[in-house]
Structure 1
Amino acid sequence: MTALRNPLFRRLLAGDLVSSFGDSALYLSLGIWAKDLTGSDSAAGLIFLFLALPGVISPLYGHLVDRVRRKPLLIAMYGTMALVVLSLALVRSADQIWILYAVALAYGVTFSVPAYGALLKDILPSAEAASARATLITVRQGVRIASPVIGAGIYQGFGGGTLAVVDAATFAVAILTLASLKVAESEPEPAGEPFLPAVTAGFRYLWRVPLLLRLALAETIFMAATGLMDTAVFAAIDQGLGKPAAFFGVLTTVQGAGSVAGGVLAGFLVRRLGEARGSSIGYAAFALGAGVFLTPSLVLFLAGAAIYGLAIPIFSVALGTAQHLYVPARLQGRVGAATGMLSTVTQSASITAGAALIGIVDYRFMYALIALTALGCAALILLRPAPLPDVVPSVADEQAACRV
């Protein structure tokens, strides 16, 4: 069943489309802005550090998401972000670069709070979970093909203050869309459990459900290797293809197009094959794409970018669908935060290692390691398959049952 038949999801998707456009248009332009203000590559790179830092304490956000109503929380977050991004209109000189870092940090918090995915558990019947996750990824990846270019154009033509106003307006649209939804939310997790066991409940739940644990471990191992690609790709462009660094923009567009196609394919694969086999196909496809990067051919190089762009949504949808189906509504936040933290920490460590090693290790070795790791993730999931857990019904499932 397609989630697009669900009117609540269609409205939620419309708001997400607009806010995703504003988000990627602005935060990807913050690095350009920081470079223009200071002339420093390091200052620009710090933007992405501040975006990543909040993910380290994701379990705290997950605990909050399970203890409160998700819809009001999202509205409050979007309203706060609309005000925060407007502060960028005050930036005039390098002395005020801290405002850019503060906005990046606020974005990092917003991206790390798993309220949106948790709200989907209450809105969507279980039969629509895979379709919804695939549609969201397709829309977000489609938006990211155009929004950075448009954002950079607004910044260059009208200034960062204008871009901030545009982004604040997209948050306002998301707020209005959410406010219009009539959602029967699950009851918040009651207080009373000691703080540490409550915050770490997501990790314990993953450990108790073998399928979820396999999928989460595979993503963690995968992220521990693929952070190398963030550095290796520039060496591949320079040494392998003899192209300037600006060619990275072409590569990103090709990857984005592949991800749009992957989002469409992911829902079909996960519904037909299940989360485990669907995920393993995604990892195997990524290994193929990374392996193609070892060739000096421009055509094959671009094909590799399209292939790994296509692959990422497949295992992302598989993990998201499994969390939706097999995790209770009031553990959605903490389980989502647990998987998010594992991925963020390992990817950040991998990016750091890649930056340190690229001067002494051939980029082709890095891509070979990435390809082998992706194949290992596929094997981890498929060898000795984990038993299929029972689906945990959602509020939407109960409402649908009452209507029958």
Structure 2
Amino acid sequence: MTQLYRDRHFATYWIGQAASEFGDRVSELALPLIAITVVGASSIEVGVLTAAVWAPQLLSLFIGAWVDQQPRKRRLLIVSDLLQALAVATLPLVWWLGSLTLVQLVAVALVAGIGRTLSHAAYAPFFASLVARDRYVQANSLLSATRSGSFVAGPALGGALIQTLGAPVAMIVDAASFAFSAHMTGRVRVTERPPADHSGTLVRRAAHGFRYLWRHPYMAASLRCCTTLNFFSFVAMALVLLYASRTLGLSAGAIGLAFGAGAVAGLAGAVLAGRIARWIGAGCTIAVGAVLFSAPYALLPLASGPGWAKVAVLALVEAISGFGIMLFDINLNALQTAVVHDDLRSRVSGAFATVNYGIRPLGALVGGVLGSVAGIGPTLVMAAVGGTLSIGWLVKSPILGTRAIEDLRPVD
């Protein structure tokens, strides 16, 4: 672990990502709160906004096929950061001009989502060029630990900024973080592998990536598990802030404090993910992480009493869920990197994201509608049960029996 974070190029990229993650935590809290408190959005409109953030992922299949043929993935990561910085920076300006609307919020979410989709497609081959195979889990642990750390301090910082300056002005922090990330990624020097296959149309290359994904014994099972998990998690996520703000009556500062306190467990999960995988096996760790990520949402309707008790329940839910998602993500990301061929990484990750991330807008919309019709509490319980059942896809796959990631090789 020590050798990896002393690698100058990895450390440079890592610092840039850390800044971007902290900025994201501010905007993740600020964007829906702008909709709720400034625009006066309903539960369905909040669901639409959440869906807009992830809707561009539906294009990942084709963006990934295009990125696979680009020789410089690092440059694409820089472009994606700058695109997101510009999109987010428009919100304070429009708010200052007094013309902020839900349409503007959705437009910013869509443009930033396109940048995120491009970044996701370029990241997989860039990561494989930056990090040696036997360091995949370690690198993912370091990057995920930073992400978890941002969930500890980011929401508290975001809540304080929103309460002091207002949610629109707080978005400037996220814009600046994207600009800094672009600068740091630009300083990284890696030897990128040239594209191996220039033949075929974009559609044919995309279709090939999807067929490879669908028939892959590891990737197909992980796709089905992740897609189920993401659908139900976004049913819940579309409602959590609304529930905390309106039903529980918590302020932005209290919500940020609860999210930050709960995220400490996510940081612990990032640090312990590799050790737990060595103890019970990477596959079992992935399954345990999926359950811990989903099940806690059923506890939210139990929050009642004084303000501190409500904050405590919200923090507990975030803690269990944050610990679980780190166990799940770190080991599954490392497994996926190990079993996919270099020449197919972007198109396969694009096909994966089209389904896996593309289901998120649908989950958010369903969450908004069900929250309005059936009530937020029952919808959160349903999301917890549905997400937990996602491990059913792993039972008959080779993932569950996987002990060590470094023993895996790409599958033809």
Q: How high is the TM-score relative to the length of structure 1?
A: 0.81
Letter of the structure 1 residue corresponding to residue 358 of structure 2: V
Render the CA deviation track for 1:228-266: whole Å, top value 9, x for unaligned: 323665798699xx8425465454334322222222222
Q: CA deviation at 1:293?
A: 5.0
Q: Distance in 1 between matches of 2:105 and 2:89?
A: 11
Q: Distance in 1 between matches of 2:343 and 2:351?
A: 14
Letter of the structure 1 residue corresponding to residue 77 of structure 2: L
Q: Distance in 1 between matches of 2:165 and 2:243?
A: 35
Tell me which residue corresponds to 1:71: 74
Tell me which residue corresponds to 1:253: 260
Tell me which residue corresponds to 2:233: 226
Q: Distance in 2 between matches of 1:338 and 1:209?
A: 12
Letter of the structure 1 residue corresponding to residue 82 of structure 2: G
Q: Distance in 2 between matches of 1:117 and 1:205?
A: 16
Q: Distance in 1 between matches of 2:191 and 2:163?
A: 44
Calculate the aligned-residue CA RMSD, in Å.
3.5
Q: CA deviation at 1:320?
A: 1.0
Q: CA deviation at 1:127?
A: 1.2
Q: CA deviation at 1:282?
A: 0.9
Listed as ranges, the gaps of 5+ residues in structure 1 are 394-404
Q: Distance in 1 between matches of 2:27 and 2:281?
A: 36
Tell me which residue corresponds to 2:152: 145
Tell whether the 8 Å contact from 1:224 to 1:350 is kept in structure 2 after alignment. yes
Q: Distance in 2 between matches of 1:45 and 1:287?
A: 19
Tell whether the 8 Å contact from 1:259 to 1:306 is kept in structure 2 after alignment. yes
What is the DSSP-based 3-state SS (H/G/I as helix, E as strand, rest coil) of the residue aligned with 2:99? helix
Alignment of 1:115-194 (within 5 A): 115-151=122-158, 153-154=160-161, 157=164, 163=170, 166-194=173-201
Q: How high is the TM-score relative to the length of structure 2?
A: 0.80
Q: Does 1:62 align with 2:80?
A: no
What is the DSSP-based 3-state SS (H/G/I as helix, E as strand, rest coil) of the residue aligned with 2:358? helix
Q: Does 1:21 align with 2:34?
A: no
Render the CA deviation track for 1:326-358: whole Å, top value 9, x for unaligned: 112232222222222222333322332233233
Q: Distance in 1 between matches of 2:221 and 2:341?
A: 18
The aligned length equals: 391
Letter of the structure 2 residue corresponding to residue 123 of structure 1: L
Q: Distance in 2 between matches of 1:164 and 1:234?
A: 17
Q: Which of 323, 326, 345 in structure 1 is aligned with 2:358?
A: 345
Q: Distance in 2 between matches of 1:10 and 1:95?
A: 41
Q: CA deviation at 1:377?
A: 2.8
Q: Which of 300, 307, 315 in structure 1 is aligned with 2:320?
A: 307
Alignment of 1:43-58 (within 5 A): 47-58=49-60
Render the CA deviation track for 1:121-141: whole Å, top value 9, x for unaligned: 111111111122222222123
Q: Distance in 2 between matches of 1:351 and 1:198?
A: 30
Letter of the structure 2 residue corresponding to residue 205 of structure 1: Y
Listed as ranges, the gaps of 5+ residues in structure 2 are none
What is the DSSP-based 3-state SS (H/G/I as helix, E as strand, rest coil) of the residue aligned with 1:54? helix
**Structure 1 residues 31 and 366, CA, compared in 2 at 3 Å: closer, same or farther?**
closer
Alignment of 1:266-305 (within 5 A): 266-286=273-293, 289-290=296-297, 292-293=299-300, 302-305=315-318
**Identical aligned residues as a percent:** 24
Q: Distance in 2 between matches of 1:309 and 1:260?
A: 8
Q: Distance in 2 between matches of 1:258 and 1:9?
A: 25
